[in-house]
Amino acid sequence: MLDIKFIRENKDLIKDGARKKHLAFDVDALLVIDDKRRDLMKKVEDAKAEQNKYSTLITSALDNQTRLGYIDQMKVVKESAQNDEKELTDIMKEWQKMMVAVPNIPDMSVPEGDSDEQNVEVRQSGSLPQFNFTPKNHIDIMLEKNMADFDRGAKVSGFRGYFLKNDGALLSFAIWQFVMDFLAKQNYQPMIVPSLVKRETLIGTGYIPQGEEDLYKTQDNEYLAGTGEVSTMSYYSDEIIEKSQLPIKFVSFSPCFRREAGSHGKNTKGLYRVHEFFKIEQLVLCEASHQESVRLHEEVTANAEQLLQALEIPYHVVLNCGGDLGLGQVKKYDIEAWMPSENKYGETHSASYFHDFQTRRLNIRYRDDDGKLRFVHSLNNTAIATPRFLISLIENNQQADGSIRIPPVLRPYMGGREFIK
């Protein structure tokens, strides 16, 4: 959420930001509502002052007739104030609904475009594998090696269900442990965070209202989060952080759930697009500085790249265009790993920064050197997401004899084995 004062003073920037993100938002309509809100707030405050004045006059009245006259006048003021307060309550609901729909302003470096097809490649890393045999896809490999069961997954869980078994499960545990160890050494605080969250946490992180259709909701009006970012961001909600603690860096593990609404017919087989998965997420809170946000954005992106390099997976980094940004994102990189069976890169990581868009909603602040309370800045990045990452790992490391080479960094977590045979 942006500051209403900033919105009033920069309405053309907001309009252009909405245009660039291809989001329908009427900033002029918000300002009309805001004018009504401010007028009503002043009327309610003036009426309260008037009532206080009459309360004093009633107390100090020298005769009963004068006192009764003041009481009658205060009743008129009070009745008018009650009508204004009711109208203000209705206006505030509309105002708040519009405020949470205001898009954050994209960075100047964000390219124009209406979908991920217009994202711009920034760099490539690693050599694409050259096979002297016909490579298989991850589904066939995992079924042959008894690493997964998709039929029984669908029987138990429904569409897009899966079981990971034997080396499929062990490989997932190995990846998680390697990533956690790597980032803990970079002074990121490891956390296991809730997946079951309140609606407020999703509003605070910007997933509601824009992405509500992609969320699972319980009968108790709680939600299953699609990323550990949601609960990790809410860890410090309604708190004031000491500036000396900043930047605060977390690496959070959580199960994640997405309905994948609107993706019917896309990647319906295998592990690419599933309803239930696991993520390790980097999340950083820093002081209110654009330069610091940019620096840390590059840091978390570099962390993800170093993980992929250590795992020896070819990838490229793309800068997301305006139409491929979420409501609150200022700038975003996607990292896409090479998937031989598709003969293309597929998204495995995403790194974004938000300025104070999320923390203003969640009321996370720090006291600056001048004593002024400021909202911290936030940013996040996928460290690893499984089982999707297994696609690249398995397909890129398949061998002519049918075995799967285990990257050296994972071997200590796989009993020292070099291959899955």
pLDDT tens digit sequence for 179-208: 999 999 999 999 999 999 999 999 999 998
Homologous superfamily of domain range 4-99:
Serine-tRNA synthetase, tRNA binding domain (1.10.287.40)
* Set 172, 252, 254, 258: catalytic member: 258
User: Which two structure tokens, joined as six digits, stand for 274?
Assistant: 């599933």
- On the question of a common fold for 4-99 and 116-420, the answer reads no
**What count of residues does the chain have?**
421
Which one from 199, 259, 273, 374 is the annotated catalytic residue? 273
Q: Is 347 among the residues known to form the active site?
A: yes
Question: Model pTM?
Answer: 0.90
Q: Please report, in tens digits, the pLDDT of each residue of the chain (421 residues total).
A: 789 999 999 999 999 999 999 999 999 999 999 999 999 888 878 777 776 676 776 777 667 777 677 677 767 767 777 777 888 888 999 999 999 899 999 999 999 999 999 999 999 999 999 999 999 999 999 999 999 999 999 999 998 999 999 999 999 999 999 999 999 999 999 999 999 999 999 999 999 877 888 999 999 999 999 999 999 999 999 999 999 999 999 999 999 999 986 555 566 689 999 999 999 999 999 999 999 999 999 999 999 999 999 999 999 999 999 999 999 999 999 999 999 999 999 999 999 999 999 999 999 999 999 889 999 999 999 999 999 999 999 999 999 999 999 999 999 999 999 999 9
Backbone angles phi, psi at 349, to 5 degrees: -140, 150
Whether residue 418 lies in the annotated active site: no
Burial 173-186 (b: 16+ CB within 10 A, else e): ebbbebbbebbeee
152 carries an active-site annotation: no
Half-sphere exposure of 149 (CA within 13 A, CB side): 10
- Please return the burial class of 144, using the count of CB atoms within 10 Å of its CB with bins 0-12, 13-18 and 19+: exposed
Active-site residue, 19 included? no
Give the start-to-end residue ranges of the domains of the chain. Answer: 4-99, 116-420
360 catalytically annotated? no
Residue 332 has φ and ψ, to the nearest 5°, of -150, 135
- Pair of tokens at residue 62: 């020298």
Q: Catalytic residue among 172, 341, 350, 392, which?
A: 350
Output 216-222 pairs: Cβ under 8 A, ≥24 positions apart. Answer: 216/257, 216/258, 216/259, 222/196, 222/197, 222/198
Look at the domain 116-420 and name its fold. BirA Bifunctional Protein; domain 2 (3.30.930)
Tokens of 252: 């959070």
Annotated catalytic residue, options 160, 360, 361, 388? 388
C-alpha angle with apex 146: 141 to 150, nearest 5 degrees? 80
Q: Which of 347, 374, 403, 411 is catalytic?
A: 347
Say if residues 176 and 290 touch (Cβ distance below 8 Å): no
